[in-house]
A and B are shown apart, each in its own frame.
Chain A
Amino acid sequence: MEIKGVSFSYPDGNSVLKDINLQIKPGEFLVLLGRNASGKSTLTKLLNGLLVPNDGDVLVDGLNTRDQNKLLSVRQRVGLLFSNPDNQLVASIVEEDVAFGPENLGLPSTEIRQRVHAALAAVDMEKHRTDSLQSLSGGQKQRTAIAGVLALRPRYMVLDEPTAMLDPLGRSEVLKTLISINQKEQTAIILVTHFPEEAVLADRVVVMDGGRIAWSGFPQEVLTDPVRLNSFGLEAPEIVLLARELKDRGHNLPPVLEIDSMVKLIQKYRDNLKED
C-alpha cells in the first residue's frame, strides 16, 4: 500500500492531511498514534477509497483509489473498522451481521459459515451468536464489529480505535487476535489507538500531528522516549513511566516495554544489589 504525497481537505475547507508519504508492506503491523483531531481517522478512510485525496495518490497493490472501476477490488483488499461500532453494524442478529460481508463477496455458504464461526471465536463472542445486536453491551458490540471485518479476510485490515470501549482483558484478547491474524495469514494490520502499550509489538509506530507524519520508528525507539511523545500530546506506556520513576530514584534499568521483562529486570537488579 502506497500513500504518495497525499493532502486532503473536507468540503468545508478544513485542511486535514498535509503531504503524507507512507508505505505499508503486505504483512506489516503498523500502529498509528496521535492526539485528537490530528487526522488519523481521515487517513484510514483514504486507505480504502471511502475518501479520495485532493492531491497525491493512494495505491493498494497498485490499484489507485481514485479509479472508480477499481474501487470494489480496493474494498475487498482493505477491510476498514470504524471507531464507533454503531456505524458498522448492519444486521439485527450477531451472526447475521458477521456473515453480511462474506455474503456480499458471494462466497459459498459452507465457507461463510466457517468464517463466521472462526471470527466469532477469535473475539470470544460465540455464546452471543444468536443475540440481537441491540441487546449487546458497548464492548460486545465492538467485538461483533471486529468479527465482521475478520470474516472478510482482507489483505489489509485498518482498525480505527477498535479497543476504545473494551475492558483491559478484552483489549489484550483483541490485540492477540490481531497479532495472530497478522502472523498466520500475513494480513497487514494498521491500528489506530490511544493506548501506547498496544504499539509495543508493532513493526513500526507512526505518530501524526497536525495532519502530518511527525515521527516514525520502531516501538523500542518511539515508546521509550516519554519527553518527545509528550511533545506530540502523547503518553508513554506505563512500564516506561515506571522505569523513568525508578531512574529518578537512582535505579538505572535498561528500557523495556513489557511487564514480564520489567519484573525480571528488577529481580536481577535486586540480586546484584544484595551481592554488593
Chain B
Amino acid sequence: MPIVFSEVGYQYAQGLPWERIALRNINLQVEKNEMLGIIGPTGSGKTTLLQLMNGILTASQGQVLINGANPANMRGTEMTRLRRQVGLVFQSPEDQLFENQVYDDIAFGPRNLGLTGSELDNRVKWAMEMLELDFASLSERKPQSLSGGQKRRVAIAGLLAIDPEYLILDEPGAGLDYEGRLILLSVINKLCRVEGKGIVLVSHRLQDVFGTVDRVVVLVDGKIAMEGSPRDILARGEQLEELGIELPASNQVLQRLTDTMPQVSLGMRGVVEVAGEINRCLRSKL
C-alpha cells in the first residue's frame, strides 16, 4: 500500500501572525519497490514533506494516507505502528542519537518491536555491518563522541534495524565521505530492488539522486515544480537553473556545449554517460 498525498498544504504556526506556508497543493504518491528522489533549494519544503510522511507533522490542508490510514486520526499505538512502517532519518543525525552507547541507539527501534537476546544482537550487528561500522571498536562508544560521518552511519543503521517498509532519508549523505556515500547508495538500492522497500531520498547531492532513483520531484517554494524520470529532469536543465537548482558539473558541461554543438543530447545520467555522449558527438564530428 502506498503513501498518498492529496492536495496537501502545510503551514507552520498556523493562524499566528508569523505563520509560514511551507507546502501547498501537493499531490504525490510513493509506492513500495520504488525509489523517489526529492530535490529543491534550501527552504523549499523538503523536510516538511518528509515529516508529513510518518506523522511527525500532520497536514494543514488536504490529506495524507499511509497504507490507507490517515495519521491525523491516529492514536498512540497506531502512531507507533506507523513509525515502524515508515522510518525516517533526520537531516541532523544528532537529533536522532540520544542513548549512551552506540549499541543501545541502534537497538532502540528493534527493542520497541519486542526483539531481545540474540535476535536483538543479530539485528544490531547486521545493521552495523551494512554500514561498515566496526562492532568491536564502536558498539560501546558514546554516540556524541563519534566523528560526524560515524554519527551519520549510526543514525542510518538505527533506521535499518527497525526494518521499515518505507525508508525516508533526509540528506543522509551529508557528512559522509565518498566510501560512505557509495555504501549508503548501494544499501538503499538493495533494500528497494531485493526486499521491495519504498525509498524516499532527499539530497543536495544531485548526482547521487539522479544516479539512484526512479523518479524525481522538484520542490520550489513549497510546490511541485517538476516531476519525472532522472533523464527527463536532466534534459530540462535550463528550467532547473531558472528554478535556482544547479545541475551536476558534467551535465553543466553538456548543457554549455549545446551552444556550439546543438546535436548533443542532454538527459545523461552520471559522468560515464556524459562522457559517452560527448564522445559520440566528437566521433561523428557534429
Give chain A's interface residues, CB within 8 Å of chain B: 10, 12, 34-37, 41, 83-84, 86-87, 132, 135-140, 143, 161, 164-172, 194, 197, 233-235, 237-239, 241-242, 245-246, 248-251, 259, 262-263, 266-267, 269-270, 273-274
Within 8 A of A (CB), among B165-179: 171, 174-179
**How far, in Å, is A199 (CB) from chain B's closest CB?**
14
Stretch of B76-84, B113-121, B270-278 that contacts chain A: B270-278
When C-beta atoms are compared, the residue in chain B nearest to A10 turns out to be B145
When C-beta atoms are compared, the residue in chain A nearest to B170 turns out to be A138
Asked if B196 is an interface residue, CB under 8 A from chain A, the answer is: no
When the two chains form their complex, are residues A139 and B178 in contact, meaning their CB atoms are under 8 A apart? no
Q: How far is the CA of A222 from the CA of B150 in the complex (A)?
A: 25
**How far, in Å, is B83 (CB) from chain A's closest CB?**
21
Q: How far is the CA of A136 from the CA of B174 in the complex (A)?
A: 18
Q: Mark B254-282, 1 if CB is under 8 A from A, else 0.
A: 00110011000000000110111011011
When the two chains form their complex, are residues B253 and A194 in contact, meaning their CB atoms are under 8 A apart? no
Asked if B42 is an interface residue, CB under 8 A from chain A, the answer is: yes
When the two chains form their complex, are residues B178 and A245 in contact, meaning their CB atoms are under 8 A apart? no
**How far, in Å, is A244 (CB) from chain B's closest CB?**
8
When C-beta atoms are compared, the residue in chain B nearest to A170 turns out to be B42
Q: How far is the CA of A241 from the CA of B251 in the complex (A)?
A: 13
Besides the known contacts A166-B204, A242-B250, A242-B275, 19 further A-B residue pairs in the complex with CB atoms under 8 A apart: A35-B178, A36-B149, A84-B94, A135-B13, A137-B47, A139-B204, A165-B171, A167-B40, A167-B41, A167-B245, A172-B246, A233-B177, A234-B177, A237-B249, A238-B249, A245-B274, A248-B275, A249-B275, A259-B249
When the two chains form their complex, are residues B271 and A245 in contact, meaning their CB atoms are under 8 A apart? yes
Residues of chain A within 8 A of B18, CB atoms compared: 132, 135
Which applies to chain A's interface (DSSP): helix, strand, loop or mixed?
helix
Q: How far is the CA of A113 from the CA of B145 in the complex (A)?
A: 37
When C-beta atoms are compared, the residue in chain B nearest to A34 turns out to be B177
Residues of chain A within 8 A of B249, CB atoms compared: 197, 237-239, 242, 259
Q: How far is the CA of A139 from the CA of B180 in the complex (A)?
A: 22
The answer, among A12, A234, A242, for a CB contact under 8 Å with B178, is A234
Q: How far is the CA of A269 from the CA of B282 in the complex (A)?
A: 9
When C-beta atoms are compared, the residue in chain B nearest to A142 turns out to be B42
When the two chains form their complex, are residues A169 and B207 in contact, meaning their CB atoms are under 8 A apart? no
Q: A36-B147, A138-B92, A168-B204 are in contact. Are A270 and B250 (CB under 8 A)?
A: no
Within 8 A of A (CB), among B132-191: 145-150, 153, 171, 174-180
When the two chains form their complex, are residues A35 and B279 in contact, meaning their CB atoms are under 8 A apart? no
Asked if B244 is an interface residue, CB under 8 A from chain A, the answer is: yes
Residues of chain B within 8 A of A136, CB atoms compared: 43
When the two chains form their complex, are residues B282 and A273 in contact, meaning their CB atoms are under 8 A apart? yes
Asked if B206 is an interface residue, CB under 8 A from chain A, the answer is: yes
Q: How far is the CA of A259 from the CA of B18 in the complex (A)?
A: 42
Among A136, A238, A239, max chain B CB count under 10 A is at A238
When the two chains form their complex, are residues B275 and A245 in contact, meaning their CB atoms are under 8 A apart? yes
Residues of chain A within 8 A of B257, CB atoms compared: 263, 266-267
When C-beta atoms are compared, the residue in chain A nearest to B207 turns out to be A238
When C-beta atoms are compared, the residue in chain B nearest to A83 turns out to be B148
Q: How far is the CA of A246 from the CA of B252 in the complex (A)?
A: 16
A-B contact pairs, 21 of them (CB 8 A): A34-B177, A36-B148, A36-B149, A36-B176, A41-B148, A132-B18, A135-B18, A138-B42, A161-B148, A165-B204, A167-B246, A169-B41, A170-B41, A172-B246, A241-B250, A242-B271, A242-B275, A248-B275, A251-B282, A263-B257, A273-B285
Asked if B91 is an interface residue, CB under 8 A from chain A, the answer is: yes
When the two chains form their complex, are residues A251 and B279 in contact, meaning their CB atoms are under 8 A apart? yes
The answer, among A140, A168, A172, for a CB contact under 8 Å with B206, is A168
When C-beta atoms are compared, the residue in chain B nearest to A197 turns out to be B249
Residues of chain A within 8 A of B149, CB atoms compared: 35-37
Asked if B20 is an interface residue, CB under 8 A from chain A, the answer is: yes
**How far, in Å, is B157 (CB) from chain A's closest CB?**
14
Asked if B62 is an interface residue, CB under 8 A from chain A, the answer is: no
The answer, among B250, B282, B285, for a CB contact under 8 Å with A238, is B250
Residues of chain B within 8 A of A165, CB atoms compared: 91, 171, 174, 204
The answer, among A83, A139, A233, A273, for a CB contact under 8 Å with B42, is A139
**How far, in Å, is B96 (CB) from chain A's closest CB?**
12
When the two chains form their complex, are residues A266 and B145 in contact, meaning their CB atoms are under 8 A apart? no
When the two chains form their complex, are residues B20 and A138 in contact, meaning their CB atoms are under 8 A apart? no
When the two chains form their complex, are residues A84 and B92 in contact, meaning their CB atoms are under 8 A apart? yes
When C-beta atoms are compared, the residue in chain B nearest to A237 turns out to be B249
When C-beta atoms are compared, the residue in chain A nearest to B179 turns out to be A233
Residues of chain A within 8 A of B207, CB atoms compared: 238
The answer, among B147, B153, B274, for a CB contact under 8 Å with A242, is B274
Among A12, A37, A140, A269, max chain B CB count under 10 A is at A37
Q: A35-B178, A167-B204 are in contact. Are A266 and B253 (CB under 8 A)?
A: yes
Among A86, A161, A167, max chain B CB count under 10 A is at A167
Asked if B98 is an interface residue, CB under 8 A from chain A, the answer is: no
Residues of chain A within 8 A of B204, CB atoms compared: 139, 165-168, 171
